[in-house]
Each structure stands twice: as C-alpha cells, then as structure tokens.
Amino acid sequence: MTGAEQLVILLDVDDTLLDNDRFSADLGNELEQRFGVAERDRYWAIYDELRKALGYADYLGSLQRFRNGLDNHPALLGMSDFLLDYPFEQRLYPGAMETLAHLRTLGRPVILSDGDVVFQPRKVHRAGLWDALHGDVLIYVHKQQMLDGMQQRYPAAHYVMVDDKPQILADMKRLMGAHLTTVWVRQGHYAAAAASQHIEPAPDMEIACIAELCGRKLGDFLQA
C-alpha cells in the first residue's frame, strides 16, 4: 500500500503501558494528607461524576471543582504541582519501553488513548512515551468513535489494538472486523473487573502483562 504501513500497533496508556492504579492511589494519599479523609472522598465523588458525564478521567477538572470552599487552604495550589509534575516515568510497567522498541521492528507503534487535552498528553510526555514513539500519539474523548480519523492519520494494511478494557476492544473489533487484531492485556482494576464478564467478540489475544509482547512476531498478530 503506497503511503501506508503494513502494520500499525495501537497502544492504550493507562493500565496498559503504565500503572495508573498506582497513580490514583498516590493521588488519594496526597489528598488525604493535605485535606483529610472527608475531602479526599469528596474529590473522588467529583471525579466519578465527571467521568460519567464526560466518558474519560478528568483529574484537572475534578481539582477545579474540588477547590470550592478551599480557596484559602494553604495546600490547595500545591496540588497543581503534584498532578502536572507527577513522575509517571516511574510508573511504567516493567519492560514497557523494551516492548515499544520491539514493536517498532514489526510495524509502527502508536498511542491511542482516551483523555482530556491537557493532562493526558502531559502524562504521556512525563512517562517518556511521547519521545519514545516520536510523537505518534492520538488522544480522543472516545477512541472507539474515532477510528476513521485514526486510519486517516495512520493508514495501514492491518492494525493491532492493545488495551486493558476488553469492551473497548470488542467495540473496535465490531467496527473494523478482520482488519484489526485485538490484544487484551490483563493489568489493572478494569481488567480484573472484566475477568468474570462475557465479552463478545472476545479478544483475539490475551496477555498477562505488556512485556509479553516482546516475544511476539509479526505473524502472531496477522494470524490472530
């Protein structure tokens, strides 16, 4: 295919390449230390409300609403530094960078993530993923609804999607069919919650951790 890759390997970020559950736990601990248990719980209630309304995690938007009643609290403005300067490079799963380097020998790895337009790109930069993939990063509100745009940006003969949420993989598979190989990486709380669910269509491949992809060859993805 002229101007197209043979294989584009799409990778989610949270709980796929990095341990976002650990970040959430650290954020909760920080909120509790600065403001107490009740205020910590209020932040997460705001977060849950926004996630249901927006369809993605909005940590900064939650903090903006959380400030109500706390404008004079001496610890409030420090939460900005905690979020924007959080060391996401320390939360990469073991072998994540090595896996990206291996996948580059098979095709073109590209981040395809849900998220807001400020914090999620910041997370990708802080983790070192932006540089590792030479800026091949797509962040949408709902990535499974933007597959046409993704294919316009990165045309390919075949695609692979690696994600910790099997329902998103199933949604994408229904839209792209045999043009897409879906890989469920069973990391994080979303994957654990989905373990007992019946997902149709089922993922084409399952792996326990992202580092398992280092042992995969091109044919493994095409045959699946």
**pLDDT-derived band at 4, boundaries 50, 70, 90:** low
| Residue carrying the six token digits 């976002």 | 20
The pTM (predicted TM-score) of the whole model is 0.93
**Under 8 Å between Cβ of 22 and 11:** no
Whether the per-residue pLDDT at 2 is higher than 50: the answer is no
Helix (H, G, I), strand (E, B) or coil at 68: coil
Looking at 22-36, 58-72, 146-160, 186-200, which range is the least confident one? 186-200
d(CA 140, CA 162): 16
- Name residues whose C-beta falls within 8 Å of residue 25's C-beta, 6 or more positions apart in sequence: none
Q: Say whether pLDDT at 169 is over 70.
A: yes
Sequence-distant contacts of 40-44: CB under 8 A, at least 24 apart: 42/66
Average pLDDT score over residue span 164-187: 96
End-to-end CA distance of the chain, in Å? 21
pLDDT score at 195:
85
**Residue range 34-45: mean pLDDT, rounded:** 98
Distance of CA 164 to the CA centre of its chain: 8
